[in-house]
Amino acid sequence: MPLVKIETIKGHDREFLQSLMNSTMDCIQSVLSLPADDRNIRLMEYENDLFVMKNPYRYLIEITLFSGRSNSIKKTLYKTIVSVLEEKCGIKKEEIFIVLNEQPLENWGVRGGTAASEINLNFKVDI
């Protein structure tokens, strides 16, 4: 149930942006062993002077997710995302900045306002 946000500068065509979104989300679902319908992703584009990041970064991917994944899985996630985006979108690995924002289950109100710690998620978090 991660919430994924991709931020970049305006100027890319719709096909590229769709590929960027789908490729990123596919990686996250695969590495974290999430259900096929677990896709929560948004993309934000900024005017050139309103998106300033240290060189060489051009893409910021922020993934908010439940706490509990191992360091090994996190490293695999980073490597998988940059490799796939390089292959499918032509983005240089060095241009991608990824941030994980981990939150405990009790900090998520889902399925009508129920704490995520009180429901069956249908996937494992502690991988």
The pLDDT tens digits for 10-37 are 999 999 999 999 999 999 999 999 999 9
Confidence class for position 106, pLDDT limits 50, 70, 90: confident
- Per the CB < 8 A criterion, the answer to whether 21 and 41 are in contact is yes
- Once rounded to an integer, what is the mean pLDDT over residues 107-114? 84
CATH superfamily of 3-118: Macrophage Migration Inhibitory Factor (3.30.429.10)
Average pLDDT of every residue of the chain: 94
pLDDT, one tens digit per residue, over 32-71 is 999 999 999 999 999 999 999 999 999 999 999 989 999 9
Query: From the centroid of its chain, how far is CA 27?
Result: 8
- Structure-model confidence comparison of residues 52 and 114, the more confident one: 52
Q: Specify the pTM.
A: 0.92
HSE, side-chain direction, 13 A CA sphere, residue 56? 6
54: Cβ contacts below 8 Å, ≥ 6 apart:
none
Domain boundaries, the chain: 3-118
What are residue 96's DSSP bridge partners?
Answer: 59
Question: Which of 44, 52, 60 is CA-nearest to residue 95?
Answer: 60
